[in-house]
């Protein structure tokens, strides 16, 4: 199974593709789609959408996991993240890729063993679980790989339950 994890954002959208390799998961590819702040919002979303389409076409994931919107104190940021999530959901739906949406606390719990883990703890576990030489940068990329790992376990569990 190949899973695409996405950490949505308008300025930076982290993404990571993982797959099973023997008894462990490995990172097949990862990176960030970035847009400049001076670009019009519609143009930024178009860049992200087409970038995500290219990633889907190139790596052909079987499943996907996208982080749910965490509504903090900054409404403007939440709106932009919501717009970026929307284009993620559209691109995945058009490609007919099943997806799960994960809360940040679910990802932290699954990857670091603690639902309130800090960014550094999650990053260390992503490096360890995927056998990477260094922490992926920017942070959004490590987050996307953590989302992919959590999504992988979610989909694997669903398949086991369906098969029993």
pTM: 0.94
pLDDT of residue 21: 79
Based on the residue annotation, tell me whether 123 is a catalytic residue of this protein: no
Q: Report the alpha-carbon distance of residue 47 to residue 85 in Å, rounded.
A: 14
Give me the domain span that covers residue 105: 2-163
**Which residue among the candidates 57, 101, 123, 140 is catalytic per the annotation?**
140
Residues with Cβ within 8 Å of 104's Cβ and at least 6 positions away in sequence, in order, are 67, 68, 70
Residue percentage of the chain with pLDDT more than 70: 96
Q: How many domains does the chain have?
A: 1
Catalytic: which of 7, 106, 123, 143? 7
- Residue 33's DSSP bridge partners are 13
Of 147, 144, 136, the C-alpha closest to 103 is 147
CATH code at position 135: 3.30.420.10
Q: Which of 62, 67, 96, 153 is catalytic?
A: 67
Distances (CA, A) of 148 to 66, 118, 163: 8, 18, 22
Model confidence over 15-70: pLDDT tens digits? 999 998 778 899 999 999 999 999 999 999 999 999 999 999 999 999 999 999 76
pLDDT in tens, 110-128: 999 999 999 999 999 999 9
Q: What is the average per-residue pLDDT within 103-108? A: 95
Of the candidates 79, 100, 116, which has an alpha carbon nearest to the alpha carbon of residue 150?
100
């Amino acid at each position: 199974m190949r899973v695409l994890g996405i950490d949505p954002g308008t300025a930076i959208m982290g993404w990571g593709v993982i797959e099973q390799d023997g008894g462990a998961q490995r990172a097949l590819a990862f990176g960030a789609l970035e847009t400049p702040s001076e670009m019009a919002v519609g143009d930024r979303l178009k860049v992200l959408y087409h970038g995500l389409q290219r990633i889907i076409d190139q790596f052909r994931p079987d499943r996907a996991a996208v982080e749910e919107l965490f509504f903090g104190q900054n409404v403007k940021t939440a709106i932009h993240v919501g717009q970026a999530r929307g284009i993620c959901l559209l691109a995945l739906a058009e490609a007919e890729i099943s997806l799960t949406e994960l809360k940040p606390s679910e990802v932290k719990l699954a990857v670091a063993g603690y639902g309130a883990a800090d960014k550094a703890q999650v990053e260390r576990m992503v490096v360890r679980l995927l056998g990477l030489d260094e922490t992926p940068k920017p942070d959004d990329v490590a987050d996307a790989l953590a989302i992919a790992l959590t999504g992988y376990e979610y989909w694997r569990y669903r398949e086991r339950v369906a098969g029993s």
